[in-house]
Amino acid sequence: MSSLRADFDELRERIRHGRELGHASFEPIYYLIFAPDQILEVKRQTPAWVAKLRHEGWDVQVFSIAENLWQILQNDPFWSLCLAEDKASPLNWVRTNRALADIVTSGNGLLGKLEEALRRLEGQPNTLLLVTDLEALHPFLRIGAIESQLQGKFHVPTVFLYPGVRTGKTRLKFLGFYPEDGNYRSVHVGG
């Protein structure tokens, strides 16, 4: 298994050289894949990685999935109802997760927030979007579903810190236990 440091160094090289035109896509999308048991270590390393990228001339913008999910939930008009329903039946996880997933995926949910972040960065040279906290998507959705809906909108290098397992050149298992997904059009490093 490769180290996080070596994988991050390889990722930096790949970003520096850009994507090669291939059969799947040429959008600048990169995944730094790491074992789920390394989530805390990745969180510890992220500020140093951001500093290193900035030192190399990148204007790094961070998009935290966890922070954006929390903002979406708190600002939803049905949030207080969700809390009341959860208190009334705290062990009904299926209903709770379904209600939260509806909030996250409807309207201007997470997809809209990420799309807006990408739109704001379009045309800005040397800008890189770093997407963190992907584990917060569980059990609502997987990032591959969002990536596919944003096809054609990645105009700046976008790096996803992906907790999971690589099972092939383009196949990933989110958090190591979701079924394999091969619908990614991105460069995968690590895993």
In this predicted structure, what is the pLDDT of residue 1?
47
In a domain, 160, yes or no: yes
Residue 35 exposure: Cα atoms within 13 Å on the Cβ side: 6
Q: How many domains does the chain have?
A: 1
Residue 71 lies in a domain: no
CA distance 67 to 113: 11
| pLDDT for residue 21 | 45
Alpha-carbon torsion 81, 113, 66, 147, what sign? positive
CATH classification at residue 146: 3.40.50
Tokens of 135: 């584990």
Only one residue has tokens 């944003």, namely: 150
Nearest Cα to Cα of residue 162 among 189, 140, 141: 189
- Residue 117: the pLDDT is 95
The mean pLDDT values, 10 residues at a time, for the chain of 191 residues are: 85 81 66 92 96 96 93 82 80 77 77 92 93 88 80 91 83 72 75 79
Which residue range is the domain that position 28 belongs to? 4-65+111-190
To the nearest 10 degrees (0 to 180), the angle between helices 93-105 and 65-75 is: 100
Any domain includes 16:
yes
Q: What is the reported pTM?
A: 0.86
Residue 38 CB contacts under 8 Å (≥ 6 apart), including other chains = 4, 163
Residue 38 lies in a domain: yes
The pLDDT, as a whole number, for residue 183 is: 65
Asked if the structure places residue 154 within a domain, the reply is yes
pLDDT tens for each residue of 58-78: 999 999 999 998 888 888 887
- Is the preceding peptide bond at 139 cis, omega within 30 degrees of 0? yes
Q: State the CB neighbour count (10 A cutoff) for residue 57.
A: 10
Confirm whether 176 is domain-assigned: yes
170: which residues sit within 8 A by CB, 6+ positions away? 24, 182, 184, 188
User: What confidence tens digit (pLDDT) does each residue in 175-187 have?
Assistant: 767 667 766 677 8
How many angstroms separate the CA atoms of 174 and 138, rounded?
Answer: 9
Q: What is the pLDDT of residue 147?
A: 81
User: What backbone phi and psi angles, to 5 degrees, belong to 105?
Assistant: -100, -10
Task: Identify whether 88 is part of a domain.
Answer: no
Residue 164 belongs to a domain: yes
Model pLDDT, residue 8: 95
